[in-house]
């Protein structure tokens, strides 16, 4: 079978990383078109990939007859238009989170995809493809912990870009724990509360960092998260699941443990999510490419989080931002999934 020909929209840090991954680390696909609002950047990336060209307009890149499928790694504010264009052209798309930047437009995208009757959108919640998360989910589903009860999470970044405000921490960072909780527990989140502890004196003025989030799921399970994005240390993501018959923790970063003179021991923490989740991104892309190859017969071009997962995460984050302002628990409002997907 011939390679899947992909357009990558947005070749900033993640997009350029995805171009490299498709070109050198996964099989069955190649990048034929790249696009970026920085034309020079797109041209430089295209020049490094045999058979790849830069196209100036993202909508032209999507419509390009050579392009079979699309990867969206552009800023969130551009996603709605680009996703709708992919749907109209019937092109499978792997879209980095967020699906779109607000709940209404996310729901509109979910509905349009449902009307077309094909699953063309996969959302880039890559943690689901990380070996440790996948192992935890498999053990949980096999009943090894009995009933799952509680999830304790820590999400720490050494630093974030200067545009980060307190709400972006919810929508851009905490959103991963939203997806992890929905993925592991297999149910929706019913309410969110965000508590504002004393802020890190080293954080930019006015940034509420750290934040403590508490989710309650529909069946009453508890999730707590410390999200702290200006630690100045390294990248740390830990998740501990507590169940009826035991508990398990992932993300301890205990790779090689080194002992050196005089009398010290230790290892290394990954510097950023690119390294920590490198394997997860590779697996995510390989499985997406394989799913797209099967999609012509199944009508399902995804193997992972769908447009609904992107919409549900947006709805939880919306409630989270409201709680960040009031300090009170806020209920999550979700559309009726059955009536949309059965449509």
Nearer to ligand ISE, 128 or 176 (CB): 176
Q: What is the largest CA-CA distance in the chain?
A: 68
Count Cβ atoms below 10 Å from residue 249 Cβ, excluding itself: 13
Minimum CB separation of residue 193 from ligand ISE in Å reads: 20
Nearer to ligand ISE, 42 or 229 (CB): 229
Nearer to ligand ISE, 161 or 206 (CB): 161
Using an 8 Å Cβ cutoff, are 4 and 29 in contact? yes
Minimum CB separation of residue 269 from ligand ISE in Å reads: 13
Q: Cα–Cα distance between 12 and 104 in angstroms, integer? A: 27
Peptide bond into 65 cis (omega under 30): no
DSSP string, 68-85: -EEEE-S-GGGHHHHHHH
Minimum CB separation of residue 175 from ligand ISE in Å reads: 8
Minimum CB separation of residue 76 from ligand ISE in Å reads: 10
Nearer to ligand ISE, 268 or 326 (CB): 268
- Helix (H), strand (E) at residue 93: strand 93-95
Residue 228, CB-side half-sphere exposure with 13 Å CA sphere = 21
Mutual orientation of helices 175-185 and 131-141 as an angle, nearest 10°?
30
Minimum CB separation of residue 119 from ligand ISE in Å reads: 23
Residues that bind ligand ISE (CB under 6 A): 157, 160, 172-173, 176, 229, 273
Nearer to ligand ISE, 36 or 96 (CB): 96
Q: In the complex, which residue's CB is closest to ligand ISE?
A: 173
């Amino acid at each position: 079978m011939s390679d899947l020909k992909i357009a990558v929209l947005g070749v900033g840090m993640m997009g350029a990383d995805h171009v490299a991954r498709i070109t050198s680390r996964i099989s069955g696909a190649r990048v034929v078109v790249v696009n970026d609002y920085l034309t020079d950047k797109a041209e430089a990336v295209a020049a490094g990939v045999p058979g790849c060209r830069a196209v100036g307009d993202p909508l032209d890149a999507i419509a390009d007859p050579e392009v079979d499928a699309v990867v969206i790694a552009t800023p969130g504010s551009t996603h709605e238009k680009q996703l709708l264009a992919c749907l109209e052209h019937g092109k499978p798309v792997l879209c980095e989170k967020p699906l779109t930047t607000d709940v209404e437009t996310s729901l509109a995208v979910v509905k349009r995809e449902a009307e077309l009757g094909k699953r063309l959108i996969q959302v880039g919640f890559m943690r689901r493809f990380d070996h440790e998360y996948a192992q935890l989910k498999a053990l949980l589903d096999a009943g090894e912990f009995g009933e799952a009860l509680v999830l304790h999470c820590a999400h720490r970044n050494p630093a974030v870009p200067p545009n980060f405000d307190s709400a972006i921490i919810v929508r851009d960072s905490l959103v991963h724990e939203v997806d992890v909780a929905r993925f592991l527990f297999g149910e929706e989140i019913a309410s969110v509360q965000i508590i504002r502890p004393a802020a890190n004196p080293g954080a930019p003025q006015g940034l509420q960092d750290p934040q403590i989030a508490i989710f309650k799921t529909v069946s009453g399970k508890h999730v707590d998260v410390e999200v702290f994005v200006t630690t100045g240390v390294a990248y740390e993501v830990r998740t501990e699941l507590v169940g009826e018959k035991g508990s398990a923790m992932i993300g301890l970063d205990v790779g090689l443990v080194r002992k050196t003179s005089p009398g010290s021991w230790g290892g290394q923490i990954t510097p950023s999510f690119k390294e920590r989740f490198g394997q997860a991104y590779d697996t995510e892309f390989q499985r997406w490419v394989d799913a797209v190859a099967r999609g012509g017969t199944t009508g399902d071009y995804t193997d992972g989080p769908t447009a609904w997962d992107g919409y549900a995460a947006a709805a939880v984050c919306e409630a989270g931002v409201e709680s960040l302002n009031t300090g009170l628990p806020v209920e999550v409002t979700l559309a009726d999934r059955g009536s949309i997907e059965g449509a």
